Amino acid sequence: MMKLWQRFLGIGLAVLIALGNGAAAAEGLTVTIPEQVTVNGPRIGLGDIGTFSGGTPAEYQILAQMALGPAPQPGQSRVFAKKYLDFQIKQLPLKEPVRLEMSETVTIQVAAVCITKDAIAAEVGKLLPAKPGVTRWIELNNLPDSIWLNPGDWRIGAVPVGKLPDFGKVLFQVTLENGSERKVINVSGRIRAKARVYKLVHHLPKFTPLQPEDLEPVEMELTFGDEFCEDWEGWRTSKPVRAGRILRAADLQRVPLVAKDHPVRVTVKNAGVEIVIAGIALADGWSGDSIPVVNPSSKTKFRAKVSGPGATEVIILE
C-alpha cells in the first residue's frame, strides 16, 4: 500500500514539473513595450523602447539592434502600431517565435528642454528701462508658444536690433545657448504701455499754467507714445489746446523761472561787490538761460543769466 502511494506521488510530481516546464516554454522569448517611451535619440532601436525576457543574450542583441528610424524632433512624437512592430520582429533571424506584449500603439518622444514664449518675453522685458508712472510690456509676434531643444542648461539672451524705442514696433535678436550649441531667432514685437494721462476739461490758451481744475486724470493704454504722463505741476501750455484732448508732450513746456514782460531781480557782481537792481525780462527764461533784460529807469538793455524764480545775475569780469 505504501509503495502504491509513493508511486502516485512520484507521478504527480513529474506531471507538475512537466507542466511548469511547458508554461516556461510557452512563454518563450518576449518583448515588452510600454504605451509611452522617452528616448535620447537621434535614432531609435527596439532596445530603446522595449525590454526582453525569456531568451538568450544573443537573441536580446538581435532584438535590440532592430532599427526603427530617426527619433522625433524635440517637442514632437512618433507612433508605432503593434501590428507594424510585430511584423518587423518576425523578419529578424531568430529561431524561436517572439511574443510581443504592448498596447495597440506606442508613442515615442525624445528627451528635450522646453523654452516657453513667456520665458523669452520675460528676458526681453529686462531691456525696457523703468519710466516713472508708466507700465510697459512687450508683445512678441512671430514666436511659437514653446521651443523644444536638446537637453542641457540653455540660457536666453536678447538684444534690440537698432535703437530701442520707448513705444511701438521693435525687432529683437534672441539667442539660446547651451555650451557650444547656439540658436538665433529674430523676433518682431511691439512695446506697449499704460499710464495715467490727462484729459483737458477746458480750452487753454497758449502759455497757461496747468491747474487741477483744468485736468481729468485718465488711466489708459498709450496710443501715440508721447502722451504726457508726468506730474502736471510746474508745466504750462506751449500752444492753445482744446478741451477734450489728451495732453501730449508737444502741448506743454516747463513754466519758466523768469517770464517775459515780468519784473526780475538782477544781481550785479563785480570784484566781490554785489548790487541788486530791478529789471524787466524781455524773454522767458529757464535755469541757466541767458536772456535780455531792460532797466526800466535807464532803459538800458543787457543780458543776464537766469539763476532762480524771478531772479537773474550779471557777473562783470575784470
Model confidence band, residue 258 (pLDDT cutoffs 50, 70, 90): very high
- Residue 149 domain flag: yes
Any domain includes 182: yes
- Tell me the CA distances in angstroms from 27 to 18, 51, 59, 94, 101, one per residue in order: 14, 15, 15, 16, 11
Indicate whether 247 and 284 sit together in one domain: no
Q: How many domains does the chain have?
A: 4
Does 290 reside within a domain?
yes
Q: Within a domain: residue 3?
A: no
* Domain, as residue range, for 247: 194-254
Last residue of a domain, one of 222, 254, 286: 254
Is there a single domain that holds both residue 93 and residue 119?
no
Residues 151 and 166 placed together within one structural domain of the fold: yes
Total-model pTM: 0.56
Q: Which of 254, 272, 297 is the last residue of a domain?
A: 254
Using H for helix, E for strand and C for coil, what is the string for 114-165? Answer: EEEHHHHHHHHHCCCCCECCEEEEEEECCCCCEEEECCCCCEEEEEECCCCC
Percentage of the chain lying above the pLDDT 90 cut: 69
pLDDT at 24: 41
Q: Name the more confident of 272 and 141.
A: 141
Position 16 in a domain? no
Asked if 177 and 248 sit in the same domain, the reply is: no
The CATH number of whichever domain residue 275 belongs to comes to 2.30.30.760
Pairing of strands 113-116, 215-221: unpaired
Which pLDDT score, from 0 to 100, does residue 30 have? Answer: 96
For the segment 70-93, the average pLDDT, to the nearest whole number, is 93
How far apart CA 245 and CA 54 sit, in angstroms, is: 85
CB contact at 8 A, 149 and 183: yes
Q: Coil, strand, or helix at residue 98? A: strand
pLDDT score at 120: 94
Report which of residues 73 and 83 the model is more confident about: 83
Cell of 194: 499704460
- For the stretch 155-212, pLDDT in tens is 999 999 999 888 889 999 999 999 999 999 999 999 999 999 999 999 999 999 999 9
Instruction: Give the model's confidence band at 142: pLDDT under 50 very low, under 70 low, under 90 confident, else very high.
Output: confident
What gap in Å lies between CA 281 and CA 259, rounded to an integer?
Answer: 7
Q: Is the Cα dihedral 80, 83, 88, 94 positive or negative?
A: positive
Three cell numbers written together for 67: 532599427
Grid cell in block for residue 77: 512624437
**98 shares its domain with 122:** no
Is there a domain that residue 1 lies in? no
Note whether 120 and 183 are same-domain residues. yes
Please report, for residues 127, 247, 248, the alpha-carbon distance to residue 251 in angstroms, rounded to integers and kept in the order given.
Answer: 29, 6, 5
Give ∠ CA 205-207-208 in degrees, rounded to 5.
65
**Hey, what's the torsion of the CAs at 9, 10, 12, 18, to 10 degrees?**
160
> Strand pairing partners for 318?
none
**Residue 143, in any domain of the structure:** yes
pLDDT of residue 1: 45
Q: Is there a domain that residue 126 lies in?
A: yes
Between 27 and 262, residue with greater pLDDT = 262
- What mean pLDDT is reported for the chain? 88
Query: Do 102 and 79 share a structural domain?
Result: yes
Residue that is last in its domain, among 110, 125, 149: 110
Average pLDDT over residues 83-87: 95
